[in-house]
Amino acid sequence: MAAVTQRQKRTQRGRPPKTARPQETVRYGLRLEGEAPGPSADTQGWPVLATTGGAESGPDAELLQASQEQYTSVEPGFRWIKNPAAISPVWLEQPARIAALAMLTVVGLLVYALIQRQVRLYLCEHDQQIPGNKGPTARPTSAVVFTLFAPVMRVQFTLDEQISVQVHGLQPHHLLICEAVGIDPTWYGVPVIRQKSLPRTTPP
C-alpha cells in the first residue's frame, strides 16, 4: 500500500495569508503482485455442433475446427446477409415457397463464396492486387468485387444498321477479375490476352 499526497488548487483569488495551511489530499493505492486470474471456463460461450455424421466422423474438437476452416463454403456468407440492407424482408406462408427461398439463398451464397475464392487464388498466383476498402489487397471479398464493378457501364445501340458499343469506367483491375472468374473480356470490347486462366464465358 502506498500513500500519495497532492496539494489542492485554491478556489479563492489573491495571495493566501501566512497562517493559512495548504489544503492537501491524500490518496491511497493498493498494489498486488502476481499474475491476474484468467476468466472462468463457466463464463465462456459454448458452440453448438449439428452434423449428419455419427461418432465415426471424429471428435468434437476436430469437427469444430473443420467447421471454422470452411472459408470457401456458404457458412461465412450468412454473416453478410444478416445486414438488413443485404436482403429485404420477404413474407412467405407456404412451406414450398419458404424452402425455395432458402434454396436460392444458399445457391447465391455458394456463388458468392466461389467468386471470392477464385479471385483470391488468381491474385495470389499472379502476384496482383486490386483496390480494397483500405488500399490495395490480394484478398478481397465478393462484396468488394461487386462494388468495384458498380461504376462500369456497357451501352450497346444500333445506328444506321450498325451496332455500336460504348464502355465507361472499365479499369485494369476489372480485367483481372474477369480473368479470375473466367469472363471473356471481349464482352467489354477488350482484346483477349492469351494466358493460363479459367475457361471464359460470355455474360448474358
Please write the tens of the pLDDT for every residue from 148-164.
999 988 888 888 888 88
pLDDT of the chain, 204 residues: tens digit per residue: 677 777 777 777 777 777 777 777 778 777 777 777 776 666 666 767 777 777 777 888 887 787 776 655 666 666 666 655 556 667 778 888 888 888 888 888 888 888 998 999 999 999 999 999 889 999 998 889 999 999 988 888 888 888 888 888 889 999 899 999 988 877 777 654 444 445 555 554
Among 134, 84, 73, 155, residue whose Cα is nearest residue 109: 73
Rounded to the nearest integer, the mean pLDDT of the chain is 77
**Per-position b or e across 158-186, b if 16+ CB within 10 A of its CB:** eeeeeeeeeeeebeebbebbbbbbebebe
Q: Tell which residue, 121, 112, 117, has the closest CA to residue 143.
A: 112
In angstroms, the CA 125 to CA 122 distance is 5
Q: Which of 156, 118, 116 is nearest to 132 (CA)?
A: 116
194-201 long-range Cβ contacts below 8 angstroms, 24+ apart: 197/122, 198/118
Measured in degrees and rounded to the nearest 5, phi and psi for residue 42 equal -70, -20
DSSP, collapsed to helix, strand or coil, labels residue 164 as strand
Q: Are 173 and 130 in contact (CB under 8 A)?
A: yes
Say how far apart CA 199 and CA 192 lie, in whole Å: 12
Three-state secondary structure readout of 136-161:
EECCCCHHHHHHHCCCCEEEEEEECC
Spatial contact of 144 and 154, defined as CB atoms under 8 Å apart? no
- Domain assignments of the chain as residue spans, ordered by start: 67-195
pTM beyond cutoff 0.85: no
Q: Are 100 and 64 in contact (CB under 8 A)?
A: no
Give residues with Cβ within 8 angstroms of 72, minimum separation 6: 113, 114, 116, 117
Residues in the chain, total? 204
